[in-house]
Structure formats: C-alpha cells, structure tokens
Chain A
Amino acid sequence: MSSGLYEPSAIQQDRIVFRRRQAIRSVLLAALSTAIVGIILGVLITGAPGWDRVRQSFFDPSIAVDWLPEILEGLWLNIRMLVFCAISALALGLLIAVLRTLRGPVFFPVRALATLYTYSFRGLPLIIVIYLMAFGIPGLRLQGTPSVTVLGGAAIVITYGAYLAEVFRAGIESVHPSQIAAARSLGLSYRQSMRFVVLPQAVRRVAPPLLNDTVALQKDVGLISLAGPIDAIRAAQIGVAQTANFTPYVVAGVLFVLLALPLIGITDWVTLRAARRQNAGT
C-alpha cells in the first residue's frame, strides 16, 4: 500500500476533470436522443389515420377492468402449469442427456432411443404434439386417462425435454476430458465421475441457456388453451368473443410479460455471474 497522502498529479487531475465532463455529456446526449425517438414514435402512432379505432378496440380501460379477474384466474392455471412443466422438463432433459452419454454395448438401445427422441421432438411442432396427446390419447378410451390439462402439460414437457436434453448434453461435452481423467485416476467409477465431477460443472455452465428456455416455456404453456382448458389466453379469447373488442388479449399479453420479468431477471443475473466467474479463473 502506498502512503495515505497520495495526491493525483496535475496531469491526472486534468484527465479526471475531462472524463467527468465527457460522462455528463454522454448522459445528456442519451436523454436527448431518447426523447426525440419517443416523440417521433408517439406522433407516428397516435397520428396514424386509424389510431382512434385501434385505441377503442385494443386499449379500452373499462373492458380491461371487467375482464382482468377472469384472465387472472386463467393465469393461475398457467403459473401452476409453468412450475410443473419447467421442473418436469428439466428433469427429463437431464435424464435423456445422461442416457445419451452411457457407453457400452448393453446401452445401445437406450442411447438410440434417447437420440431418436431428441431428434424427433425437436422437429415436431408443439401444437401438433398437444393435439395428438390431448385429443388422441383420450380417443383410446383407456381406463384412468388423465384430464386434458395433464395431457397438454405432458405434451409441453415432452417437447421441451428434447430441447433441454441438448442443452444439458452441450454442457456435459464442454467439461474438459482432463476432469474425467482426474476423477477416474482417483478410483471413481464412470457413474461417480459423472455425478460428482461432470454434471455439477455442466449444469452450472448451461444454467443461462436453460433458464432462457424456461422463459420460452412459460409463454408456450399458454398453448394448452388449444386443447380446451381455460387458461389466461382462453379466458381472454372468451372476453374478445363476448365484447367484440381485443382489449382482453392486450391484458393477457401484459400479464404474461409481467410473469416473465422475474425469470428474465434471474436469467440475466445468473448469466452475469457465470461470466464473472469465468473471467475470475485464469
């Protein structure tokens, strides 16, 4: 540590003054350009010839207030679906990713099935999976067929599981082989090396993309409305049909964004932390 009496030299003081002036200038410029862009956008939209009609049919406050409770009730279903689907899809994805890394001839069918699964369900549109599951399975008229909501949720889990499996696999493959060599050299079995050494590092590394997929999942949970259950989107659709006004859709859209914000915030925070950790290491 240098002495506490340190005083910046004249040159350094001049630099500090200059940089401070530059910083103030940047802030002012940013504020000015933001204001200009905002005014232009406002004029363009509110000045458009059809703006009054659009405002009436998309931004009607009284309709918004009327339908908010129904949509919120529907949203509660979305939230429950989100929690269930996110946890199940993450677990399924991890399981599939690990199955794909198994070695040895005995596991060939397991590997092949897991690979087939990730290939086909990443290609298959979610909407089709939901239709097939929610309408096809009850069509079999088996005893104890679960409700359409559960089947729709299962469709989401199966589809997202395939994506998440690939993210997990990328994470597993990103762990350097020298880590496995170190684990095996200590006498750990292949399974123990995976569990204690590879997977913890893999999951940490792919946490940001995993969370990003979870954000995407939270929107797609709304697609189960196609199968019939009254979620936020279906509730809004009913509102639109009854009022002949699109405002309920806007309300549902805003609610979805609000629901996503915390998750997006967590994703950014985790990403930032991961980047910082990576830079901390040599």
Chain B
Amino acid sequence: MVLSCTDVRKTFGSHVVLDGLTLDVGEHEVVALIGASGSGKSTLLRCVNLLAEIDDGVIRLDGEDITDPRVDPDAVRQKIGLVFQSYNLFPHMSVLDNITLAPVRVHKRPANEARDQAMEWLNRVGLADKSGSYPDKLSGGQQQRVAIVRALVNSPRLLLLDEVTSALDPELVGEVLTMIRDLKGEGMTMVLATHEMGFARQVADRVAFLDKGRVLEQGPPEQVLGDPVEARTRQFLARIIEAGRL
C-alpha cells in the first residue's frame, strides 16, 4: 500500500468532518473520491498532506506512520504532491520559477538542472512558450497544468488532486483531464476528489463514495456509479444526473 488511512477522525470544533474514515490506495492505483460538498473529500486530502492535523486514527505512507507527531512534516510533504482547486500558483513568480522553487530550495538540485527538467515538462504539456509568463497572464486551464507540473517535478510517491477542474470554464476542463489521464498511463499513484463523474469513470481504478466523513461504498467505477448498493449513493447520483453532470 502506498497510502493507508485507518479510522481517521477530524473535527472542526463540534463539527465532525471525518468520522473514522478508512481507505487504502495501492501502487499505481487511481482512486476517485466522490460525495456531496462537506462530505470530507478535501479535508481528507489536506490531512494526508499534513496541512491539517487529524484528531484520531493513523495515516501511513509506504507503511510509515506519518501522523506520528515525531515525524518531520516537511519530509513527508516532499513525497506527496498536492494540487488545489484554485491552482495557488505564486503570483510574483514566473511559471518557470514556480516550478523550480521546490526542486532548487527543498531538494537542493542545481538551478540549471531544475530548469531543464521544468522545460521538459512544460514542453510535454504544451506550455513551453509560457515559461517566462506570470500566472495572471495564463488561462485557468494553463494555470492548473502548471500547478500539476509544479507538484510533479518533485517526483512524488503520491499525487493528491483536490477538485482540480472545479474552478475551470467548461471548455478548459478537457486539457487538464487529458494531462491527468496521461499521468495515469505512466503509473502515477493518485487520489482525486472530483465532481466530474464522467472523468472518475474513465480514469479511476476505484471510486470511493464519501458520506458523513466515512467511505460508505467503494469499488470499480462501473459498479459504484452504475449500480450502487447503498441508498445514499443512489440518492447522490440521482441528484448529479438531475443537474446534468453525469
């Protein structure tokens, strides 16, 4: 198992967001988290990345308990990439500097080597001509692809994608999804929170339906999205279909 969450609990005051959640992710596996707003998808990703501290349970990365307070969180985060819904590129840095910041400052790689690697990635995703641009000159889809590259140049063991297409105009969603599909082809282990059911069906090996801070149902996409066992999953999917999002 690359990632293994056991009985994870997370509360904000009296509000219980994760209520004994258990989820395993194997090597090269892509798991899609679906569920209503507030079901805990984003919170789980933030907990795995140690941006939020869990209140109970254990999260393991490659078997190591990363929720042990004696573990250095910076060292853990260097092995986990996280991409945000709102991209969160650094607005005062060029695209290239955004990408090379962590390789140079954290992984202490030579600047020219980091630059070459960044340019290679930008070439692959068709953004080489934007390397000197600042984020505010890029479209949402371009910004999000840069954000994904920024996470990838650190060669993470695990990539977490938090609703990465939710802030995008519909015609820009495709370019980001294509990139994620390519990553799956290369064997990247990924956990993605998403509202794009069609995409979850295409790219995920397994879909996990979160409800009230637990994994209520999980399995192959055809089964969870096509013939769910739980009544609440069916309700959720019915609402999605009603909204024309499936």
| B89 CB contacts on chain A under 8 angstroms | 182
The answer to the question of A24 belonging to the interface, with a C-beta cut-off of 8 Å to chain B, is no
CB distance from B136 to the nearest CB of A (A): 4
The residue that B51 contacts in the complex, of A181, A201, A281, A282, with Cβ under 8 A, is: A181
CB distance from B145 to the nearest CB of A (A): 15
The answer to the question of B106 belonging to the interface, with a C-beta cut-off of 8 Å to chain A, is yes
Centre residue among B49, B78, B90, B107 by max chain A CB count within 10 A: B90
Q: A186 to B154, Cβ gap below 8 A?
A: yes
Tell whether A178 pairs with B105 under 8 Å between CB atoms, given A204-B92, A281-B91: no
State the CA gap A204–B91 with chains docked (Å): 11
The residue that A188 contacts in the complex, of B74, B81, B91, with Cβ under 8 A, is: B74
The residue that B88 contacts in the complex, of A181, A280, A281, A282, with Cβ under 8 A, is: A181
Q: Which of B68-88 contact A (CB under 8 A)?
A: 73-75, 77-78, 80-82, 84, 86, 88
| A189 CB contacts on chain B under 8 angstroms | 74
State the CA gap A188–B88 with chains docked (Å): 15
Chain B, interface size: which category?
Answer: 20 to 34
Tell whether A185 pairs with B106 under 8 Å between CB atoms, given A179-B90, A280-B136: no
Q: B92 to A182, Cβ gap below 8 A?
A: no
State the CA gap A192–B75 with chains docked (Å): 14
The residue that B84 contacts in the complex, of A178, A187, A201, with Cβ under 8 A, is: A178
Tell whether A188 pairs with B92 under 8 Å between CB atoms, given A178-B86, A181-B51: no
| B84 CB contacts on chain A under 8 angstroms | 178, 181-182
Known: A185-B51, A185-B77. 11 other contacts (CB 8 A): A179-B88, A181-B46, A181-B88, A182-B88, A184-B77, A185-B81, A185-B151, A186-B150, A187-B74, A201-B92, A204-B92
